[in-house]
Every structure is written in C-alpha cells, then in structure tokens.
Amino acid sequence: MIAYLAGISIPAFLPDLYWVLWFMLAACTGLLLPWLRRHMAFLLPGLLVASLFGTWQLYHRLDLAQLDVTLTGTVADIPEQRSGRLVLLLDLERIDSALPAAQRLRRVKLSYYDPEFTLGSGDRVELVARLRSPRGLLNPDAFDIERRYLTQGVDARGYVRELISIQSEGSSWRQWLHDRLQAEFEPGAAATLAAVVLGVRHHFSDEQWQGLRVTGTAHLMVVSGLHIAVCGGLGWLLGQGVAAFAGRFIKVRSALRYAPLILAFGLATGYAWLAGWGLPVQRAWLMLIIFLLGSWRLLELTAWQRWRMALTLVLTLQPLAILEAGTWLSFAAVALIITATAGHQGRSLNWSRIPAGWVRVQLALFVGMLPLMVLYFQQFNPLAIPVNLIAVPLVSAAIWCLPLWLPLALMWELPLRLLEVAITVFWQALSWAASVPGLVVPVIKPEWNLLIPAVLLVIPVLLPLGWLYRLLCMAAFLPLIWALPKRPDDGEYNVWLFDVGQGQAIFVETSSETLLFDTGPGYRGGGSAVPYAVLPYMKARNIDRLDTLVLSHDDLDHSGGYSTLKQAVVIDQLLAGEPEQRADSEHCGGVGWRRSGVNFTMMTANEDRDPQRPSNERSCVMSVSNGVCSLLVTGDLGFSGEYRLLSAGRIEPHTWLVAGHHGSRDSTTAALLKHVQPQYVLVSAGYANRFGHPHQAVIERIEGQGVAWSNTARAGAIKLSATADDCSLQQLRVSKKRYWTAG
C-alpha cells in the first residue's frame, strides 16, 4: 500500500507530467530486481492513476488568455453572493465555438455582475461569457487556487456579458431549501443552518469566521467527517431499533442485521447529497462506506485496515487530495480516535465511562493535531479542548435533531423561534469563548526540520506510558510553537513583489524592519487582493505589525487594500503621496532612514506638493539599498515625473527597477533606463489585463537596453534577495512550479 500511495503522490510534486515517464522507466527497471519487484509492482499503478487523472484534467482546461463565446448549460450548485456579484458554476451542454479548446470545456466558473435575474441551482441558462484560463494569483504561503480548479474540474473562469435566456424548470431541492432558510430565519440562524445542512458557508460574516478560527471550532461549520459520521451513527441506531422491533414479527432474523448498515448508508448518503458532494464530503462519505463494508460482509477487518483502505480509495479517486489540508486533518483525526479508543473496543457499554472516554479522545485529538494546526493554520489553541468538549456533543446532537426539528420549524412559528434562540445562544457562547485571553497563540509556519520531529513525538505521547514520559515528549513541542521566523542578517534584505493582479504590493524585510509599499488593488464591488496575496505570507511568518506602510498614491490599484490591511495588522508609520486622503499619514517626500545596515529613501517628483497635479504624478518613489544591491520603485509616475526626478539629480543607478505604472506606455522612459542602468526590470501587472500592460513599447525600450525583465502575470510573485555579496531573483511560478501551474 505504501508503494502504491507513493506512486500516486509523486506526480503531485512534479513540474511537468512528462517526468512521470522517467519514474515509470525506473520502476520498470526495478521490476528486474527481486528485492524491489513487489514494491515496483504497486508503485507503477499509482503513478499511472495519478498521471492519467492529471492528463485528463489538463486536456479539458482552457489555455487561451481570452475567449468570448455563447454557452448553454445548467447551474451546478447554489450560486454564491459576493459583493454585488453572483458566482456560479455552470455545467456546459453546448458551446457555440468551433475551437477545439472551447469544445473540450466541461464546467466553467462565472461571475454575474449586477444581475437582473436571480439564478438558482438547476436552472438551464443561455448566456454570452468572456472566458479565460482558470488561472489564479500565485504568492508565497497562499492558497493554490489553480490546483483547486483542476481538482474540481473547473476548466475555465470568466464573467457573464449577456444573459440570453433562463429555463427554470423548478429549482433543485438544495436550492429550494436554501431559499426557504434565507426567507424564514434571521440572518445568523439562516447562515448557520445553510452551512450545517447544505454546506453553503459564504453567508458567514468575517467576525463569525474569526470566532470559529480562534476557538478551534471551524470544523463544526464545514460539512465533513464529523457530520457524515454523526448521520451514519444516527442511521445505525435507528437501524438497531428497527431490527429489534421487526425481530418480533420476522422469523428470519439473520437478514435484520443489515438494517443498521442500510440506514447508516442511506442517511449518510442523503446528507452528503444535501451538502453538495464537495471534496471534503466525498472523502468523509468514502471513509464511512469503507468502514461499513467490513460489517456488511462480516469481514474481519481491523479499524486500521479499514482506515488504510479508505485512504487508498480516496487518493485513487482524488490523487491531488494528497496536498489538501482537509485530507490530512480528516485521516489524522480518525487515526487519533482509533488510537485513543484502542483497548476499549468490544467492551459492553458502560455509561459511567463515556465522559472519561470523551475527554481521552479530545486530548488525543488536541495533541495529535497540534503539528498539523501549526502547519496549516499557524495557530495554537491551548483552550480548544474545553471548548470542543462542549461544542462537539452539542452540534452532534443538533444534527441528530435537525431531520425532525427543521421541517417543524419550516411549518410552525414556535419551533422556528426556538431553533433561532438555540443558534443565537450558541454564537453568543462562542463569542464569549473567543474573547477569553490566551485562547489562541499565533505561531510561524514551521520548517520541516521542526515539523517532522514533532509529528514523530506524537506517537509516544499517545502510547500508554507514564505521565512523566508523556510530558517530556510534549515539552519537545515547544520549539515548534515558539519558533522565530528566519530574517535577513544585518546589512541584508529581502523583497517580495506580490502577484496581486492589476496593481502593486511590495514587501521589504530586513533584520529589524518590515515595510509594505502599496497594498494591491481593491475591488469595486468590495474586498481586495490583500487576503489572497499579502496576508498569507505575513501570517505564515507571524507578522502582525508593519513598521512602515507606504501608499504611493490614492489610486484603487495601489491603495485599495488599505482598510483590509489596517484591520489585520498594526501600522506604526503611514507615509503617502497624497496624505490628505488618509488620516494619520505623513507625506513621503524627503523621508529617509538607515536601519540594520539598509538605507530607505523616499522622494517624490512633486516637490512643491501641488495638490492639483494628477494623482499618478504625486506618487511616492522608494529606493532601498544595502550598498551592494538596490531597488527603485517609481509608483505610477509618467514621463514628466521621471524627467523631473532625473533633472533634479536624485536618481542613481540601481540593481532592480520596478517598471512605472505597471508597464504603461507613458512610463519607464529610455532616459530613466539609461540612467538607472538596472540589471533587471520587474513589472507588476494582471494577466491579460484590459489595459494591455506591459505595453509593447515599454518591452522594446527595456530589451533595447539589453536588460532582462519579468512580469508577475507570468512569473507569479517575485522574490529579491540582497546579501552582502550577491543579488538574486526568484520567480515563484518557476521555483514552485507543479504540473497544473500555468506557465
């Protein structure tokens, strides 16, 4: 099994599926060696399964930058409301295009701005859409949306340009129930029920999600293993009752042993269907089915054998699940429960032992899941045990009651109000628990040299050893929890030019300084790129404070994420090119400092600070240098601003230059390039953006000077490393490339 799972896992770490051929060749060679033959016989099928899955998904993926086409299809799931737009999945039936790339499409994800009509799951629509490849932003420690698209079979994404027709032949049951919940219940209760019953989580507010994360109870509002197992358990108990009752009247009692299995399967499957069959639901359902099959055929399978079979089946059907946090969390939780209950299975039910057993399980989950929680969520919840000891049984009991209580609540007022009160009390208690000091301790994302020993130390902690030995092993977790991020040495600095789409955000870090130049774009419908591009990196390094934030000017693509950033981190100093637009900000012109051997110089081409100048011409200009490597950022300055800086003699040669105005034609002049003499020019622009940045004239000017250049749209986030004797550059789409990563 290990060899087979290794074969499935290998392609997930390859930059291209062509590399699988070399692994297959090596495996075939290994078949000639007797001591390797058995392992290679299992490795080969694993490689084949994973590579066929990846090849099939990539075959259907749109590889065009832009395509306008008329589509006919069915809305596959409950549409999501996001800041004035409707996000929907469309299963395609017909595509009015002769292009082979269009004909291969199966499912697309579309945004419908300012919708005139309400769309629901099950509606058949005809529309004109602008499609593009399912490409996402690629930044350090951020979620890999391109992998998610590939796993879900989303072959293209785009937006609706024109809705031609809707054929609503009756909403799906899920859509009907969703609409009833939203209409009958107050928003908080409706959001909770939609999440627990339907797997629809987008109705939760940011405050609610924060409370769930802090208390370690977010898993209660995501339909996954716990919920499917609870439904399966309810079906089992009902089946036992049916069998006991029917046994009085049916002589052939051997057939009655299937009643608990059938009802457990039926309830779990019905709940999985109602919850939308998302990837976590599929994994949980498959795990339950494997555990039930052993009892169905009276197979003498241990819990561990069923666990391994479930893991093998899940990864066979979903090879990229090996990289999903949910897979590791789900299977680790089940493994810990098996370990915690080992030696207690098969005993007669003793109600007096249930509380102690429940505490033992929660302790095992807390200790065993600690390394994974630190790895995936960068937090340690010391008080999560008592919170989950209370919350998990309550939510489990609620799931048992909902099949009876929810229909009553939708028919009569009193049950509805009682359910609303219960949900309100739950959220109030959770809010109170979230406010307890010390409930959550943020930590850094650990390196593998700290993570692997911590995972290995989980084993002796869970073994029936003395408490002294267990405490000694748990003490070894301390480096994992209290590790400090590795920062540049004195006289050195690192820079991340984040991939924020059509905008700009540049993070500079020295041994004692953190600075962010611009925040990336804000979206006109609400939200910004900050949570997807900037904050994941800062969270992974446990950075909750910025020494300096520079807003070059007040355009939405440079300062649109300010409000989001301000809520997430503390900002000690705010510099701006247009300080009148931001309270508590200072003008960036003429500001400079030296810290940890690195010089920071801020300037502006608008020396007279004339408020009548265009916003772009008031941009802050930043220079960072350690005497060996230097970076120049000019914001959105145009020709006139660049000439004013040059004529004033304020610009020196630099190692790296960030192209002005995202590569606009009226920036990055030949005069600036000749004077700065950069070794590399960096462009921060969105993929296939409507402005055509970087402009061909700019590219010709850069290449005419014999200078190399790179664009975040193609390279992803770009890292610059300035040491005492070297200036290096790293492009994330190259260094972290996987076979699904767009080039």
Q: Among 326, 330, 322, which residue's Cα sits nearest to residue 8?
A: 322
DSSP character string of 79-136: -EEETTEEEEEEEEEEE----HHHHT--EEEEEEES-SS---TT-EEEEEEEEE----
* Backbone φ, ψ for residue 518 (5° rounding): 70, 160
Cβ contacts of 561 within 8 Å, gap of 6 or more: 505, 519, 520, 521, 522, 528, 529, 530, 534
Flag whether 515 is in a domain: yes
Q: Among 102, 132, 136, which residue's Cα sits nearest to residue 716?
A: 136
Q: Each residue of 157-178: pLDDT tens digit? A: 999 999 988 887 666 788 888 8
Q: Count other Cβ atoms within 10 Å, centred on residue 45.
A: 15
Same domain, 563 and 424: no
The last residue of a domain, from among 171, 197, 231: 171
- Predicted TM-score of the model (pTM): 0.89
Same domain, 151 and 55: no
Flag whether 471 is in a domain: no
Flag whether 430 is in a domain: yes
Same domain, 111 and 22: no
Note the pLDDT of residue 226.
77
Note the pLDDT of residue 565.
94
The boundaries of the domain holding residue 222 are 210-446
Q: Exposure pattern of 241-252 as b/e (b: 16+ CB <10 Å)?
A: eebeeeeeeeee
Question: CB of 62 within 8 A of CB of 155?
Answer: yes
Q: Count other Cβ atoms within 10 Å, centred on residue 78.
A: 25
Same domain, 56 and 78: no
The last residue of a domain, from among 45, 60, 75: 60
Flag whether 654 is in a domain: yes
Averaged over successive runs of 10 residues, the pLDDT of the chain (743 residues) comes to 90 94 90 85 93 95 91 91 84 92 95 80 92 94 94 94 82 84 90 89 84 81 81 85 74 69 88 85 85 71 84 92 88 84 55 60 79 84 77 82 85 89 90 78 85 79 70 75 88 97 96 95 85 94 94 93 93 92 87 93 84 87 95 94 88 94 93 94 93 94 94 96 94 94 83
Note the pLDDT of residue 359.
72
Q: Hey, what long-range contacts does 17-22 have (CB within 8 A, 24 or more apart)?
A: 17/51, 17/54, 17/55, 17/58, 17/739, 20/47, 20/50, 20/51
Same domain, 27 and 78: no
Flag whether 179 is in a domain: no
DSSP character string of 185-239: S-HHHHHHHIIIII---TTS-HHHHHHHHHHT-GGGGS-SHHHHHHHHHHHHHHH
Q: Count other Cβ atoms within 10 Å, centred on residue 567.
A: 9
Note the pLDDT of residue 369.
83
Same domain, 504 and 404: no
Same domain, 239 and 355: yes
Counting DSSP H helices and E strands in the chain, the numbers are 27, 23
Flag whether 691 is in a domain: yes
Q: Among 302, 364, 356, which residue's Cα sits nearest to residue 332?
A: 364
Cβ contacts of 352 within 8 Å, gap of 6 or more: none
Question: CB of 66 within 8 A of CB of 101?
Answer: no
Q: How many domains does the chain have?
A: 4
Same domain, 563 and 695: yes
Question: CB of 685 within 8 A of CB of 502?
Answer: yes
Residue 711, SS3? strand
Note the pLDDT of residue 610.
74
What span, in angstroms and rounded, lies between the C-alpha atoms of 739 and 17? 6
H-helix segments, 413-540: 413-434, 448-462, 467-475, 478-481, 535-540
Same domain, 258 and 298: yes
CATH assignment at residue 159: 2.40.50
Flag whether 220 is in a domain: yes
What span, in angstroms and rounded, lies between the C-alpha atoms of 509 and 489? 10
Question: CB of 231 within 8 A of CB of 251?
Answer: no
Same domain, 47 and 103: no
Question: CB of 229 within 8 A of CB of 398?
Answer: no
What span, in angstroms and rounded, lies between the C-alpha atoms of 467 and 12? 40
DSSP secondary structure letter of residue 680:
E
Q: Among 86, 96, 106, which residue's Cα sits nearest to residue 156?
A: 106
Same domain, 515 and 431: no
Tell me the HSE value of 274 on the side-chain side, using a 13 A CA sphere.
Answer: 20
Q: First CA to last CA across the chain, in angstroms?
A: 34
Amino acid sitting at position 54: G
Q: Each residue of 47-56: pLDDT tens digit? A: 999 999 999 9
The last residue of a domain, from among 446, 479, 508: 446
CATH assignment at residue 567: 3.60.15.10
Note the pLDDT of residue 349.
45
Same domain, 417 and 526: no
Q: Give CA separation, 298 vs 261, 301, 302, in Å.
A: 11, 9, 12
Flag whether 195 is in a domain: no
What span, in angstroms and rounded, lies between the C-alpha atoms of 269 and 272? 5
